[in-house]
């Protein structure tokens, strides 16, 4: 199974302040899986089907020449939050045959969307 999952440069369960309609990216990194893990994104409890998504799989640096190959997977999504995304949870989940289906490996962040009101953000 994967050794870890993280949303890059974000603490688990942290809040991300973002301005309304400002495009930004979230990156999820799942490390050291064999075979490579599949990454699934959720907004709340709903699986996201995104056009602006890029997944990259690379060989993990194991430090031992003859060890079985393991893979890191990086998934990058692009979002443009609206006022409806305020307090929305975005979750990255790793799916892998060695992980129990009832105990997924996942990490979540929450958006705090700053909305315009008479050219001021609040």
pLDDT in tens, the chain (122 residues): 999 999 999 999 999 999 999 999 999 999 999 999 999 999 999 999 877 789 999 998 766 554 679 999 999 999 999 999 999 999 999 999 999 988 889 999 999 999 876 555 55
pLDDT at 40: 95
pLDDT at 119: 55
pLDDT at 63: 63
d(CA 91, CA 80): 16
d(CA 38, CA 35): 9
pLDDT at 51: 77
Residue found under tokens 């709340």 = 44
pLDDT at 32: 96
d(CA 19, CA 120): 11
pLDDT at 62: 64
pLDDT at 6: 98
For the chain, give the secondary structure using H, E and C: CCCEEEECCCCCCCEEEEECCCCEEEEEEEEEECCCCEEEEEECCEECCCCCEEEEEEECCCCCCCCCCCEEEEEEEEECCCHHHCCCEEEEEEECCCCCCCCCEEEEEEEEEECEECCEEC
């Amino acid at each position: 199974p994967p050794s870890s999952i993280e949303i890059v440069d974000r603490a688990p369960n942290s809040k991300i302040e973002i301005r309304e309609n400002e495009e930004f990216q979230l990156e999820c990194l799942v490390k050291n899986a064999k075979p490579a893990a599949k990454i699934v994104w959720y907004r709340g409890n709903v699986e996201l089907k995104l056009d602006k998504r890029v997944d990259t799989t690379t060989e993990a640096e194991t430090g031992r020449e003859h060890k079985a190959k393991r893979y890191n997977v990086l998934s990058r999504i692009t979002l443009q939050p609206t006022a409806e995304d305020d307090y929305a949870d975005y979750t990255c989940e790793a799916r892998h045959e060695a992980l129990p289906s009832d105990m997924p490996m996942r990490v979540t962040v929450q958006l705090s969307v700053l909305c315009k009101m008479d050219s001021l953000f609040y």
